[in-house]
Amino acid sequence: MKSIILSSVVSALLFFSGCSTTEPVVDETTSEQVVQDVVPVNTEIVSEDNSEISGEGSMLSSDSNEMSIASLEEKLPSIYFNFDQFNIRGDMQDKVSNSSEVINNSAAALTVKLEGNCDEWGSDEYNFALGLKRANAVKKALVAEGVDAKHITMVSYGESNPVCNEKTKDCWSKNRRVDFKLLP
């Protein structure tokens, strides 16, 4: 009987102690900033008789529509964040402004999905909340730049959608981001 009680107490202590809550020490002064170049892509579609197909009334196949969405997504760079932060960094402001121009000019009829992501530090619940806060910060910035809020959706992937899996500061900084996806 004593062994059952003792093992129950030990199990309860292990269960309630959980993971450590200490935060990693990250030296923000030495971390490299991740920069993605935006490459312009020609999205004109030409029919067999070399006449250009454009405008809202034109009929495009689903393959060409997916290709044009993909080419527009390439013009929307990821927005990166500092460790444990959800405010948009100063070096990312231009990327948000450029993204709002692309959305307003070329993707006004599409829905923009903002995908919040985090590095591996923190609990799952904390990272899902932080990813949503990051996506919401980008949404507010886009709305301030004139993007219609009705065309923006948000989702948080927490730490479950990394682009880099190494255990380095540079890799972790690549995972603290908001990605843009365009939906028809």
From 41, 33, 37, 68, select the one nearest 177 (Cα to Cα).
Answer: 33
Residue 63 is encoded by which pair of tokens? 């393959």
Percent of residues in the chain assigned helix, strand, coil, to nearest 5: 40, 15, 45
Q: What is the mean pLDDT of residues 1-20?
A: 65
- Spatial neighbors of 150 by CB under 8 A, at least 6 apart, are none
Report percent pLDDT > 90 for the chain.
57
Cα(18)–Cα(34) distance, integer angstroms = 34
- Spatial neighbors of 181 by CB under 8 A, at least 6 apart, are 73, 112, 113, 115
Amino acid at 91: D
Residue 114 is encoded by which pair of tokens? 């903002």
Least confident of 59-68, 117-126, 141-150, 158-167: 59-68
- pTM confidence score: 0.64
pLDDT reading at 112 higher than 50? yes
43 or 156, which is more confident: 156
Could you tell me the domains of the chain? 79-184 (3.30.1330.60)
Cα–Cα separations (whole angstroms), residue 51 to 25, 46, 65 = 59, 6, 18
Q: Tens of pLDDT along 147-184?
A: 999 999 999 999 999 999 998 999 999 999 999 999 98
Q: What is the mean pLDDT of residues 28-44?
A: 41
Residue 140 is encoded by which pair of tokens? 């507010």
